[in-house]
Amino acid sequence: MTAPTAVADAEGDLIVCREGAAGFIRLNRPKAINAMTYEMSQGIDAALDRFEADPAVAVVILEGAGERGLCAGGDIRGLYESSKAGGDLGKVFWRQEYLMNARIAKFPKPYIAFMDGLVMGGGVGLSGHARHRVVTEKTKLAMPEVGLGFFPDVGGTWLLPRSPGEIGTFFGLSGQTMNGPDAVFARFADAVVPSARLPALREALTAVRPDISSSEVDRIIAGFATGETSGPISARKADIDRWFAGDRMEDIFGELRRDGSDFAQSTLKLLNEKSPRGMVVTLKLLRLGRRAASLEECLVREYRAALEVFRSDDFREGVRAAVIDKDRNPRWSPPRIEDVTPEMLAPYFREIGADELVF
């Protein structure tokens, strides 16, 4: 393997380097499962600038340091503290992050995400919009934001509605975890590669020609892949399609209550733990996302909703229960989906004037 060149901030939270023909972006907070900070997001943007302009870089590879995962999401604790103090980190952080998500989706060179281990929330934003998305037998991919009084953002409302049937609705509302093959089935990933083969794939990608095409990158990845295209959730698709077809949370809960199967009841239990307001907002965003013409359209809508979430008691309560106090006993407001009114929903979908996200 070619020795790394032009290493930037090798001891910091982000390592940017070139190895042969590959530009590497390595998230480097292994103790925090590489949770992304605002500064890391800025650094990724700068790395993309550099690699796009460098003719010696044929492909860009995203990876995470450590054994636990690519990225556990955004810096939730920092956002919580800012929200409590009436600060503006949410406004600044999410603007930077969402613009970066859209840029990744349109990056002109092959951008390859190694989605080994845990990939959650903001980690999906970094990898799910990549042109080439590699998962492994260790992958645990999830968008659990509804359990924090939030919704699946970072373009999740574009990706989830493009899963087969209502699979994306199920994953978005339940926060349930996908394994590698189910991530391929749900169209969040493209190929399953055994984790033991990632170093060899990595080395092969550093040796490519400067003008390599995306189809040629696909062929290289396929040479290391298992060919798996579905996991355990795919076998439940018919049930999930029936349960999650409704456009109101009350309809989804009703379908699950009428079904006596263990899977329906365990799903109902999961949903009962989530923020009622978060679920209603999420379902509406997913249905709007299904009709959206572009990722950018969804990100504009997500940014409006995210700023409202940042001001909400539910977000602070969800983070408190899951991350701060860890008592796993959030007190949602309101406590029931039946109590979520149109007046409560309206601010999440309102235009925000000068603060709008602009691409």
Q: Which residues are catalytic?
A: 74, 122, 145, 153
For residue 350 the two structure tokens come to 């309102």
Rounded Cα–Cα distance for residues 120 and 147 (Å): 13
DSSP assigned state of 107:
-
For residue 236 the two structure tokens come to 């439940």
The helix (run of H) or strand (run of E) holding residue 310 is: helix 295-310
Rounded Cα–Cα distance for residues 300 and 290 (Å): 15
Rounded Cα–Cα distance for residues 110 and 22 (Å): 10
Go through 198-224 and write b for each residue having 16 or more CB atoms within 10 A of its CB, e for each that does not: beebbebbbebeeebeeeebbebbeeb
Beta-bridged to residue 192, according to DSSP, are 135
Beta-bridged to residue 113, according to DSSP, are 62, 133
Rounded Cα–Cα distance for residues 147 and 176 (Å): 11
**Would you say 167 and 237 are in contact if contact means Cβ atoms under 8 Å apart?**
yes
C-alpha 46: how far from its chain's center?
21
- Going from the C-alpha of 279 to that of each of 48, 157, 314, 321, the distances in angstroms are 34, 13, 12, 17
Rounded Cα–Cα distance for residues 120 and 34 (Å): 10
